[in-house]
Amino acid sequence: MDMSWRGAVFSWGARTEPDPAAEPSVSDITGFCSRLQCGFAWIVQSDRQNELPGRRGDQSPRGGFLRLSGDSGGVGNEENETEEGKEAAELEDSDSELKEEVCTGAEFDDDYLREVEKELTEEEKESRRQQSFTLKETGNSQFKEKNWSEAEDSYSKALALCPVCYSRERAVLFSNRAAARLHLDMKDQAISDCSRAIDLDPNYLRALLRRAELYEQTEKLDEALEDYKKVLERDPSHSGARQACVRLPPLIQERNEKLKEEMIGKLKDLGNMVLRPFGLSTNNFQVNQDPNSGSYSINFVQTPNNNNK
C-alpha cells in the first residue's frame, strides 16, 4: 500500500528519504493523512480478523464473522466479567464458543445471535433464558441501589445471553438498560435501547414513554410529541402523555419561529454581501406577506427605509 506525498514515499516495507527541495502542499498533506487513516483501518481490521472468535479456522456456522452492533453496550469491568464467566460455565459444552464470546463483554447483533442459536436445543435456549433472567434481577437490584453502571453492565450481559426468540424478555432488558443509561447521561444510547425495545414490542408503553421523555430532554421535540401521541393511542387515560401533547406544540412553534428568524438573518447577511458592490442592500427589497394565501411578494424600493426588512 503506497502512502505518499510529494517528496516522500512511505510503504509498509520501506521508507525513502524526502526530497528537501519539495514543499508539500495542503492537498498533498490532506491526501497523505487520508491514506494513513485507511492504512490504520486496514491494520485494525486485520487484527480483528486474527483475534476475534469466528476467525480461528472454525468453518462451522458458529465460526462466521463476528458482527458487533453499532451500540457497543456496557463493557463490564474485570470483576463483572469474571462473574459472568461463572454464569457461562454452567452452559452445555455444545455452547462453548458462545460462552467464550459472552465473557468478552461484546454485544452481538440479532442476526449473529440468531445464527448461533440455530445450533441450540430448546433446553439450551431455556437455560440461557433463565441465566439472563438471573442477570436481569441482579441488574434490577443494582438499579434500586443506584449503582447505575453495574446495572447497565448486568443488563448488557443478560442481553448477550437471552435468545432472540424471547422477544418480550429482550424488550424488557433493552428498556431497563435505557433507564440505567439515562442515569449515566448516555442519552443517545438510551434512546437507541428504547427504540430496540419498541421494535421488539410496539405496544411497550414504558419504553415508548421513556423514549418520549428522552427525546424531550435532548430537545427533539417533534419526535417526543409523536411518541406521546402513540402513548395516548394505547392508553387514553395517561395524564402525563396528555399534558405533553398540550405542552409541546407551542414549544415546537416557538422553536420553529426562532429558526426561521435565524435563517432569514443569515440570508439577509448573504444578500447584503452580494448586493454591496452594486450600491444596494436587502433594504432595497420590501417583502410583504399576503394574509390570505400566506405567499410573499417582493417589491424594489429605490430609497428604502432602514426599518424595512
Grid coordinates 437507541 are at which residue? Answer: 192
Lookup: cell for 169: 424478555
- Contact call for residues 176 and 136 (beta carbons, < 8 A): yes
Write down the CATH superfamily of domain 69-251.
Tetratricopeptide repeat domain (1.25.40.10)
* Per-residue pLDDT at 192: 95
Q: What is the pLDDT along the chain (309 residues), one digit of tens a residue?
A: 444 444 444 334 444 444 544 444 545 544 544 554 555 444 445 444 444 333 333 333 333 333 334 343 333 333 333 334 433 333 333 344 444 444 444 566 788 888 888 888 999 999 999 999 999 999 999 999 999 999 999 999 999 999 999 999 999 999 999 999 999 999 999 999 999 999 999 999 999 999 999 999 999 999 999 999 999 999 999 999 999 999 999 999 998 888 888 887 887 788 788 878 877 777 777 777 788 887 877 777 777 665 444
Per DSSP, the three-state class of 12 is coil
Grid coordinates 402513540 are at which residue? Answer: 230
pTM of the model: 0.56
* Per-residue pLDDT at 288: 78
Per DSSP, the three-state class of 69 is coil
Instruction: Return the domain boundaries, the chain.
Output: 3-42, 69-251, 254-300
Q: What is the DSSP letter of 74?
A: P
Lookup: cell for 250: 407551542
* Per-residue pLDDT at 305: 62
Q: Give the DSSP per-residue string, 220-250.
A: -HHHHHHHHHHHHHH-TT-HHHHHHHHHHHH
Specify the DSSP element, H or E, that contains 296. Answer: strand 296-300
